[in-house]
Amino acid sequence: MQTIKSWFVVAGAGLGAAFLLGCAGMSGTSASITKSPFGKTPDGTPVDLYTLRNANGVEARICTYGGIVVSLKTPDRNGKSGDIVLGYDELDSYVRNNPFFGCFVGRYGNRIAGGQFTLDSRTYTLAKNNGPNHLHGGLKGFDKAVWSARTISTPQGPALEMRYLSKDGEEGYPGNLNVVAVYTLTEDNGLRLDYAATTDKPTVVNLTQHSYYNLAGKGDVLDHEVMIAADRFTAVDATLIPTGELRPVKGTPLDFTTPTRIGLRINADDEQIRLGNGYDHNFVLNKPAGQLGLAARVYEPTSGRVMEVLTTAPGMQLYTGNFLDGTITGKGGWVYQQRHGFCMEAQHFPDSPNQPAFPSTVLRPGQTYQNTIIYRFSAR
């Protein structure tokens, strides 16, 4: 598995995983993290909401149900703060009908063909919750778990450490998987996510974050200008499973090597665009797996907001809210229509457990899975 050098170290293959944290406090007198109740799940489990603020006026609200980023407020070019993620005002809506707004995705982000994979000569069967395929961890993935949480001090800013034990056989996956996720609001206006996991049996793991962004805070995202640091993408079949081909983006509507409006080619007469109903594709990043580097940059011209995505993962899925259809009313009464948000899910490639040529997602006892994603904000 990939390894990275970061500010934390995860040790041990079971429940003894622990973070070794720097002792520096939060800089800036206004940096803070607070906790409040956010309701209860249908079985009565309390859910908490944590609000992280830095000294620059950036604020992230994260709940323990699904590790959901409930809101993310950043200043525009005039210094006016606005919420830039889609979602709901209350917990009940997330429980009843959540198309993965803001959540922590696992055990396996993205699709696994046919809802099964073979590991060490044994075949494992998973839920088919996306047509013939398995998607985002199944019927009750990490997005529907209530995580234990505690606040911590880091050299980079206020942080929230969240933990979950995914038991052997949960959603069909082998091994007791101990997962730790740390959300840090950094001094340079980044929402940093450090994921780590250990197992007591061979398994597959692919963890990511699934916020729907709209840097204007309203309307569609077609005028957002996107650059993705990838010369290739994983071409897909009719059910959005990779064919195995790493296809060059050059000459296709998936070429974002220079800043390009999302809406410029989203309706192009192109097989891949038709199959995805827009963009729903994994890009092969131009950097070594395990190395933290730039994956994408997005600019929204009316607000001036800029979002940079950095990751240690080998790939990133661009999804353009293709299946939002006006049936969901979100925060502040906003009815979410198609293309009202986009996702940039930094992760391993879809269907990697069934594609030996792709970077491996196999995690074995004694190893540590790690993935870092940073969403960093500015304005111009």
Structure tokens at 187: 């001094």
Please name every residue paired with 61 in a beta bridge, in sequence order, or none if there are none.
Answer: 51, 71
Q: How far apart are the first and last CA of the chain?
A: 38
Structure tokens at 249: 């983006």
Catalytic residue among 171, 225, 300, 345: 345
Strands 305-311 and 369-379: antiparallel
Q: Is 210 a catalytic residue?
A: yes
DSSP string of 191-251, one letter each residue: EEEEEEEEESS-EE-B-EEEPPB-TTSSS-STT-EEEE-EEEEEEE-TTS-EEEEEEE-TT
Helix (H) or strand (E) holding 258: none
Q: Is 340 a catalytic residue?
A: no
Catalytic residue among 136, 210, 281, 340: 210
For residue 374, give every residue at least 6 positions away whose Cβ sits within 8 Å of its Cβ, in sequence order, or none.
Answer: 186, 190, 191, 192, 193, 292, 308, 309, 310, 311
The residues annotated with a catalytic role in the active site are 210, 345
